[in-house]
Chain A
């Protein structure tokens, strides 16, 4: 399964934080991969509306998350403004965001333990 997260906008909108971050579960450890797949299943990703719907009137600085999942021949993109109401979708976005942060940390060479951390399953285009 391949997953992609892009985050747009927000008060602190930075080109380097937009992503997209791309994760291929094949590059992850077995447990980590299984957990991501489980999170995708919990969102009923391939059945859910593509979104994002209308943000509340007058709202500003809400970030927009764009999540794409590819599995076999299937591919779907779902968009959601913050705050993300559905706990399952929110958990998936948070898991992908955590991956993105680890990748960024590795890029700066400040991984836990001091050395660079490799993320074989993930990459952020330069």
Chain B
């Protein structure tokens, strides 16, 4: 077993569910250490894998050593080519590889799997334990990450404007969630449905990070891709869900084009009708709902949005207004009609110029 990444013996012996609790509720210093341990150390997972479960899997109760669903991760190293899949660099239960991109992808996909399982009881992308395949070191100076319908692919960035794309946890959350959308609503990747597809990936991506860090809606940074831009860039991230349009203003990258209100909806043929631009509008609505409700965003606002994402009434061609209406209906059916939850959701959409 590889203990090289384990610097704090206390945390090294703490089961992951406790670490998560510390990461959520501990003192700031404890939280930081626990979060770092969770993020950088695969020791627990390999320990759990190497130890037989204390109960038979069909005992009906999850064993302490098996607090999560069964995730099956494989990380491939594409070796700075574009020839997928590349060579296997780390499989489920193996210790850290020492390659930062490999280990970040492994941990990021793990954190995303755990988030879906622990919070929404979803078992992977297809809710049926689909193996998670992450591919790193794709291309040369490749400044993108994508979901190709089967796998998540991450570039190293060009080093000038972008760091490696695995550096930010929400990037893995974002890409994996495109798979969830593919298996659920199948939102078309075009126009308003496409912007909603992007929006859901940003929501889940941000919630994965907030859940791991134990941050309330108020404490969270609501940024997508924080840490991804190098110091050469005047910007903090790729997008801001709290203040769309403010994530960067740079002489080379340009100005963050995201609108925060329907009045500023961008009509364009580029980027499949601006799917990465107009997602700012529902992103801001989600933030407003989460902020109005207070506490942990994944608990109430996230639950309402997740119920909407898996709602059969969400169709591939659903636009903003119908999506907004579905979130209000799901708020009502989860928490009661006319309750503060439904009010918060309706108010949030009205705040971005959409009447549900």
Say if the beta carbon of B103 comes within 8 Å of chain A. no
Interface residue from A13, A16, A18, A90 paired with B82 (Cβ < 8 Å): A90
Q: In the complex, what residues of B have CB within 8 A of residue A24's CB?
A: none
Q: A25-56: contact bitstring with B at CB < 8 Å (1 yes, 0 no)? A: 00000000000000000000000000000011
Interface residue from B140, B183, B254 paired with A14 (Cβ < 8 Å): B254
Instruction: Judge whether A60 and B197 touch: CB under 8 Å.
Output: yes
Q: In the complex, what residues of A have CB within 8 A of residue B179's CB?
A: 58
Say if the beta carbon of A110 comes within 8 Å of chain B. yes
Output the nearest chain A residue to B146 by Cβ-Cβ distance: A61
Say if the beta carbon of B38 comes within 8 Å of chain A. no
Consensus secondary structure, chain A interface: loop
Output the nearest chain B residue to A66 by Cβ-Cβ distance: B270
Interface locus among A70-78, A101-109, A114-122: A101-109
Say if the beta carbon of B123 comes within 8 Å of chain A. no
Tell me the complex Cα distance, A110–B225, Å. Answer: 24
Interface residue from B165, B250, B277 paired with A11 (Cβ < 8 Å): B165
Say if the beta carbon of B252 comes within 8 Å of chain A. yes
Instruction: Judge whether B189 and A16 touch: CB under 8 Å.
Output: no
Interface size on B, residues (CB 8 A): 51
Tell me the complex Cα distance, A58–B275, Å. Answer: 14
Q: In the complex, what residues of A have CB within 8 A of residue B251's CB?
A: 16, 107-108
Q: In the complex, what residues of B have CB within 8 A of residue A14's CB?
A: 248, 253-254
Tell me the complex Cα distance, A14–B197, Å. Answer: 18
Say if the beta carbon of B79 comes within 8 Å of chain A. no
Instruction: Judge whether B254 and A59 touch: CB under 8 Å.
Output: no
Output the nearest chain B residue to A83 by Cβ-Cβ distance: B82
Say if the beta carbon of B311 comes within 8 Å of chain A. no
Q: B140-180: contact bitstring with A at CB < 8 Å (1 yes, 0 no)? A: 11011111111001000010111001000001001100110
Interface residue from A12, A15, A110 paired with B143 (Cβ < 8 Å): A12
Q: Interface size for chain A: under 10, 10 to 19, 20 to 34, or 35 or more residues?
A: 20 to 34
A101 in contact with B178 given A11-B165, A16-B250, A59-B147 (CB within 8 Å): no
A58 in contact with B162 given A8-B270, A15-B257, A18-B270 (CB within 8 Å): no
Instruction: Judge whether A9 and B158 touch: CB under 8 Å.
Output: no
Q: In the complex, what residues of B have CB within 8 A of residue A82's CB?
A: 144, 146
A11 in contact with B254 given A84-B82, A101-B160 (CB within 8 Å): no
B134 to chain A, nearest CB (A): 14
Tell me the complex Cα distance, A90–B139, Å. Answer: 11
A67 to chain B, nearest CB (A): 15
Say if the beta carbon of B351 comes within 8 Å of chain A. no
Beyond A9-B270, A101-B158, list 12 extra A-B contacts (CB 8 Å).
A8-B271, A11-B144, A11-B146, A11-B174, A56-B150, A58-B147, A58-B178, A58-B183, A59-B147, A59-B189, A61-B178, A107-B252
30 A–B contacts from the bound complex (CB under 8 Å)? A9-B270, A10-B146, A11-B145, A11-B146, A11-B165, A11-B171, A11-B174, A11-B175, A11-B276, A12-B225, A13-B271, A13-B276, A14-B248, A14-B253, A15-B253, A15-B254, A15-B255, A16-B251, A16-B253, A17-B253, A58-B178, A58-B179, A58-B182, A60-B198, A61-B145, A61-B146, A83-B148, A101-B160, A107-B252, A110-B232
